[in-house]
Chains A and B, each alone.
Chain A
Amino acid sequence: MSSHGETPSQTVGPYFSMRLAAEGQNILTAREDRVVIEGRVYDGAGSHIEDALLEIWQAAPSGRYRHPDDTRDLDLEDGFTGFGRTATDFETGDYRFETLKPGLVPDAEGAFQAPHISLIVQGRGMLTAVFTRIYFSDEEEANRDDLVLRGVPDSRRHTLMARLQDGSSPPAYRFDIHMQGEDETVFFDF
Chain B
Amino acid sequence: MTEPVIRHYGPKAYSDHPPFSYPAYKSTSLRGPTQDLLTIVQTLSETTGPGPVWADVSEEDADLTTNAGTGAPAIGERIIVTGKVLDETGRGVPGTLMEIWQPNACGRYVHWRETAFPAPLDPNFIGVGQCVTGDDGEYRFQTVKPGPYPWGNHPNAWRPAHIHFSLMGPSLGSRLVTQMYFENDPLFEFDPIFNSVPEHTRHRLIAHYDHDVTEENWALGWRWDIVLRGRAATPFEEDDQ
Contact = CB atoms under 8 A, between A and B. Distances in A.
Interface of A: 1-20, 43-45, 47, 49, 55, 57, 59, 65-73, 81-83, 90, 105-109, 113, 116, 118, 120, 122-131, 133, 147-148, 151-152, 179-180, 184-190
Closest 8 CB pairs of A and B: A125-B27, A83-B50, A67-B48, A127-B18, A44-B30, A189-B37, A125-B31, A43-B30
10 contacts: A6-B88, A6-B201, A16-B166, A43-B30, A57-B50, A65-B48, A81-B53, A113-B45, A125-B32, A186-B38
Nearest to A3: B88
A82 B50 CA distance: 7
Contact of A6 (B37, B114, B202, B228): B228
Interface residues of chain A: helix, strand, loop or mixed (majority): loop
Given A151-B40, A180-B30, A188-B40, A69 B5 contact: yes
A19 B5 contact: no
Given A5-B201, A123-B31, 14 more contacts: A2-B90, A4-B89, A8-B197, A9-B178, A65-B48, A72-B1, A106-B43, A120-B172, A124-B27, A125-B26, A129-B177, A179-B30, A180-B32, A186-B35
Interface residues of chain B: helix, strand, loop or mixed (majority): loop
Contacts of A107: 43
Contacts of A124: 27, 31
A72 B20 contact: no
A105 B99 CA distance: 30
Given A65-B48, A69-B47, A184 B34 contact: yes
Question: Which residue among A107, A148, A189 has the maximum number of chain B CB atoms within 10 Å of its CB?
Answer: A189
A8 B198 contact: yes
A55 B175 contact: yes
A4 B193 CA distance: 23
Contacts of A185: 33
A113 B209 CA distance: 49
Given A7-B228, A18-B128, A125-B28, A130 B201 contact: no
Interface stretch (B9-17, B69-77, B182-190, B210-218): B9-17
A189 B40 contact: yes
Interface in B33-87: 33-35, 37-50, 52-54, 57, 86-87
Contact of B25 (A2, A57, A109, A127): A127
A122 B34 contact: no
A20 B39 CA distance: 28
A145 to B, nearest CB: 14
B17 A71 contact: no
A8 B204 contact: yes
B41 to A, nearest CB: 4
A71 B5 contact: yes
A20 B178 contact: no
B124 interface: no
Contacts of A122: 177
Contacts of B40: 148, 151, 188-190
Contact of A184 (B35, B45, B87, B164): B35
Question: Which residue among B16, B34, B44, B175 has the maximum number of chain A CB atoms within 10 Å of its CB?
Answer: B44
Contacts of A82: 50, 53
A50 to B, nearest CB: 10
B204 A118 contact: no
B48 to A, nearest CB: 4
B237 to A, nearest CB: 12
Contact of A3 (B16, B31, B37, B89): B89
Nearest to A83: B50
A108 B175 CA distance: 22
